[in-house]
Amino acid sequence: MAHHKSQGGSALEEALEFDQAVSETRSSLDPEESLLVVTADHSHTFTMGGYPERGTNILGIAGYSDVNQLPYTVLTYGNGPGFSNSSENFTNADVARTDHVQRSAFKLSEETHGGEDVAVYATGPWAHLFSGVHDQSYIPHVLAYAACVGRFAGDKCATAAAGASPAAPLAAVLASALATLLLR
């Protein structure tokens, strides 16, 4: 939700929380028996710009404009509530707060989704089916195939390898799908 408010610091904290959730989920699953898929349903217009020096706080000032000598931040958004016509001379302390609203190129009441491809990470049985680039509509079909549900149920159910146990338990697949929705 922080991305829609153009709060880059809060969005990074959400990413760390998501990473912790994935880590805890992963440690509770048998990697030989459970397919874990981590992905997103969209990107955002969140970006890093300028030429910040090595070691610069990601929530800090990247540099100073060569036009008006005012500071600009490392993190920005393509659109959202952070647009401003005024020239502000903010400090690192101002922009380092996690609730700081990053600058946006175009003013909107909420930041929108972006159009970039999103990553899909998978581990466990059938994880190889997630390598490469796929349309997002491909993902639920692979999840159904791995879980032996829907049109892949019964005698159309796949097994991870000859002699191996049936594909990933449905609960694990659904847990990974649910995890992708938690931080929308």
pLDDT tens digits, one per residue of 55-103: 999 999 999 999 989 999 999 999 999 998 877 888 889 999 999 999 9
Residue 42, annotated as binding a ligand: yes
The pLDDT assigned to 158 comes to 67
Q: Number of folded domains in the chain? A: 2
Residue 141, annotated as binding a ligand: no
23 and 97 share one domain: yes
Torsion sign (Cα): 2, 10, 74, 103: positive
Task: Give the pTM.
Answer: 0.80
The pLDDT confidence band at residue 156, using thresholds 50, 70 and 90, is confident
Question: Cα–Cα distance between 85 and 112 in angstroms, integer?
Answer: 20
106 and 123 share one domain: no
Q: Are 78 and 105 in contact (CB under 8 A)?
A: yes
Residue at a domain's end among 93, 114, 135: 114
110 and 124 share one domain: no
50 and 140 share one domain: no
Residue 134, annotated as binding a ligand: no
Long-range contacts of 144-152 (CB under 8 A, 24+ apart): 146/35, 146/173, 147/35, 147/173, 147/174
The pLDDT confidence band at residue 162, using thresholds 50, 70 and 90, is very low
Residue 41, annotated as binding a ligand: yes
Does 37 have pLDDT greater than 90? yes
Torsion sign (Cα): 165, 166, 170, 174: positive
Residue 52 tokens, joined: 């910040």
